[in-house]
Chains A and B, each alone.
Chain A
Amino acid sequence: MILSPAERSYLYDSLIQKPTIRPDSRAEHQMRPLEAKTSFLPGSNGSARIRLMDGSECIVSVKAKVVVAAKEANLIECDVDVVGFRDNSNFVSNLKFNLTNLLQQNFPSDYLRLTSKYSFKLFIDCIVISHSSYPLTLISLTSYLALKTTKLPLLVSETNDEEIAELPTFSDDWDNAKPIADYFKGKGKEFQPPIFITLGYVGSNLIFDPSVEEEQVLENGLIVTFYNNKVITPIANMNLAVNSNNSNFKGLNQTAIIKSIQMGNKFGGAIIRALDALIEQDDDNDAIF
């Protein structure tokens, strides 16, 4: 995606206005509208799909497997596949690193423990079918929906297997399966997977969820994590315009970083509420496509 110098300077001049004037008139804290659908893959424990108006689309499938907990380095494994990019390209590797890190740091995987010996391990597969802007938020919001709607089969064997070596057995009836959230409720905790919010920094303005055109003129980009109703680590900056010759790219200042955290704290909750509201409304009668 190349912009002409005139387009670039017009866009930059608009974005640095106070308040910022974005090409689609979005407010600085406004995300692009999404269209989402959950639990549509019959072979997965949880699944979700999000589409944007510009045709960007991501599908996430969550599968669970019973493992011996002591043998696993981590109980959540992510894989990201982006159409048009090699699996070991810098672009895909970074997305995968970020998503893995997000869940590794902020997903309480202890709750996946089945017995003293065995545990569930979650495999999260993300496919980005099409994207224009940096797809990290798209992937993380889709994973949120998929994890939130993931159902795990009901354990019928004993939870204490320290004395007797016994493989965990599960109820045959899928209707008995419980969402992950129930595992958390039993332990007195609300289940809310972490999400990423992408922010663009331009002329002391911070804008949520920059579009591909906006990315081309940003001075810097920030990725903040929102978890349990507040901003938390990992937080990092990055050049969102991948492979571009962005001549505006420059450093940040402390105020911008603090402001990004404040904005995340202020508006992140609304994103979570919108996602949760969608899950509640979602039913099987919806069209998949």
Chain B
Amino acid sequence: MNVSDVISITRPTPATIDSDVDMSDDESTQVKLSIVTPGEMVTDDPVWMKGHGTYFLEDKTYSSVAGNISRVNRLLSVIPLKGRYQPETGDHIIGRITEVGNKRWKVDIGCKQDAILMLGSVNLPGGVLRRKSESDELQMRNFLKEGDLLNAEVQTIFNNGIASLHTRSLKYGKLRNGIFLRVPSNLIVKSKNHSYDLPGNVSVILGINGYIWLSKTTNSSHNKNMTVNSNANKINASGDPSYVPGAGSVAITRLEEESSWEIYSDKNDPNITNSVRSNITRYNNVIKALAYGDLGITEQRIIMGYEASMAFSNVGSMIDKDAMESICQDVINNEKMRG
């Protein structure tokens, strides 16, 4: 028996310290480019408006975080290299319910304060046109309860920085049939779409907040662009829940059809095959490897990583440091080749 089948123990790798850092201070620049550290003067020109990540002292603007300087018109801010997720309106995120409160849920989305999800911002069983009643308030825990995972969109940001979410689309809602993992939020590249169907019958939702959901691709997401046959849909719904988060946009009539209790069900699809389960774990390890290599996580890279991972017949060996590095290297090489 091979020792490495049971355990791999490595030594810490020496950190490569780049000694070529230019220590000379160039006072003449109006606004220094590149990276600043907390307390470092960004500019002494008072015309700049001070944004996030800066503070103002005696007509001079200093950075309060370590990060990149960003200038939008006259607004000067420093974007931290690493830090908590900062929600922005329109972000597609994944969150976990932490508290059920008065007409609202509190949701952990990995930012400094829990986001809120108002009872009025979710679809309730019975269709979109249904009015919210007191009985809905009383049975909020039947819809979503502590620990439940959902994907949602940031609707607004309140003055105090708390994000307000909504799930008023069929692509949002409760998550089922898969596993959750999280990566640093700065690795997720914002794009138009954040839910993808991957090879191997697996779907992924890359929340902008770094929360990721890997699940089985369900039938209805394959049919998402086909004309909806409502009868077929009903049959489907009675057998297994046909609702799939991230299934893409759906006609409003279907929204009504599907806004039944099914969307709040906790039951997984009973027919998840072992090969799908294995593929999900493979993607899980690929994403973890990409995160380990500090690579931005995109659909393309996940697929390339997945292909590279085929070299490992034993997926379990992919959790070693060397294996993760080799996958990252493969992805980078592949990208270079494609240009």
- A66 close to chain B: CB less than 8 A: no
CB 8 Å contact bits of B1-17 with A (1 = contact, 0 = none): 11111111111111100
- Report B261 CB to chain A, min CB distance, Å: 14
The prevalent SS among residues of B at the interface is mixed
CB 8 Å contact bits of A1-32 with B (1 = contact, 0 = none): 01111110111011001000111111101111
* Complexed CA–CA distance, A27 and B320 (Å): 13
* CB within 8 Å of A: which B146-167 residues: 146-149
Q: Are A289 and B12 in contact (CB under 8 A)?
A: yes
B residues in contact with A34, CB < 8 Å: 7-10
Partner of B9, one of A21, A30, A36: A36
Q: Are B316 and A11 in contact (CB under 8 A)?
A: no
- A275 close to chain B: CB less than 8 A: yes
Q: A10-B177, A21-B281 are in contact. Are A2 and B147 (CB under 8 A)?
A: yes
Q: Are B266 and A9 in contact (CB under 8 A)?
A: yes
Q: A4-B147, A7-B180 are in contact. Are A274 and B285 (CB under 8 A)?
A: no
Q: Which one of B22-30, B127-135, B218-226, B272-280 is at the A interface?
A: B272-280
Q: Are A13 and B11 in contact (CB under 8 A)?
A: no
B residues in contact with A277, CB < 8 Å: 3, 9
- A286 close to chain B: CB less than 8 A: yes
Partner of B1, one of A4, A31, A208, A270: A270
- Report B126 CB to chain A, min CB distance, Å: 22
Q: Are A287 and B278 in contact (CB under 8 A)?
A: no
- Report A129 CB to chain B, min CB distance, Å: 15
Residue of A nearest to B216 (CB): A10
* CB within 8 Å of B: which A256-289 residues: 266-267, 270-271, 273-275, 277-278, 281-282, 285-289
- Report A141 CB to chain B, min CB distance, Å: 9
A residues in contact with B179, CB < 8 Å: 7, 10-11, 23, 213
Residue of B nearest to A10 (CB): B268
* Complexed CA–CA distance, A80 and B330 (Å): 43
Question: By the criterion of a CB under 8 Å from any partner CB, how many residues of chain A are at the interface?
Answer: 48
- Report B48 CB to chain A, min CB distance, Å: 38
* Complexed CA–CA distance, A282 and B281 (Å): 33
Residue of B nearest to A54 (CB): B288
* Complexed CA–CA distance, A13 and B12 (Å): 36
* CB within 8 Å of B: which A192-213 residues: 208, 213
Q: Are A271 and B7 in contact (CB under 8 A)?
A: yes
B residues in contact with A3, CB < 8 Å: 147
Q: Are B282 and A25 in contact (CB under 8 A)?
A: yes
* Complexed CA–CA distance, A96 and B68 (Å): 46
Q: Are B315 and A5 in contact (CB under 8 A)?
A: no
- A72 close to chain B: CB less than 8 A: no
Q: Are A33 and B10 in contact (CB under 8 A)?
A: yes
Q: A29-B6, A30-B7, A31-B6 are in contact. Are A2 and B96 (CB under 8 A)?
A: yes
Q: Are B316 and A6 in contact (CB under 8 A)?
A: no
* Complexed CA–CA distance, A33 and B292 (Å): 14
- A175 close to chain B: CB less than 8 A: no
B residues in contact with A17, CB < 8 Å: 274, 277
Residue of A nearest to B292 (CB): A53
Residue of B nearest to A245 (CB): B147
* Complexed CA–CA distance, A198 and B282 (Å): 24
* CB within 8 Å of A: which B278-302 residues: 278, 281-282, 284-285, 288, 292
Partner of B316, one of A7, A24, A36, A274: A24
Q: Are A33 and B96 in contact (CB under 8 A)?
A: no
- A35 close to chain B: CB less than 8 A: yes
Q: Are A286 and B274 in contact (CB under 8 A)?
A: no
* Complexed CA–CA distance, A194 and B297 (Å): 42
* CB within 8 Å of A: which B29-47 residues: none
- Report A2 CB to chain B, min CB distance, Å: 4
CB 8 Å contact bits of B184-202 with A (1 = contact, 0 = none): 0000000000000000000
Q: A31-B7, A274-B3 are in contact. Are A25 and B278 (CB under 8 A)?
A: yes
20 A-B pairs (CB sep. < 8 Å): A4-B174, A6-B148, A9-B268, A10-B272, A11-B179, A14-B281, A21-B274, A24-B288, A24-B319, A25-B281, A27-B314, A30-B7, A33-B7, A35-B9, A35-B12, A270-B3, A270-B5, A274-B3, A278-B9, A286-B14
Given contact pairs A7-B149, A33-B320, a sample of 20 additional A-B residue pairs in the complex whose CB atoms are under 8 Å apart: A3-B147, A7-B180, A9-B266, A14-B281, A24-B288, A24-B316, A25-B278, A29-B6, A30-B7, A30-B316, A32-B319, A34-B10, A35-B12, A270-B1, A270-B2, A273-B3, A274-B4, A277-B3, A277-B9, A278-B11
Spell out B's residues near A (CB within 8 Å). 1-15, 96, 146-149, 174-180, 266-268, 272, 274, 277-278, 281-282, 284-285, 288, 292, 314-316, 318-321
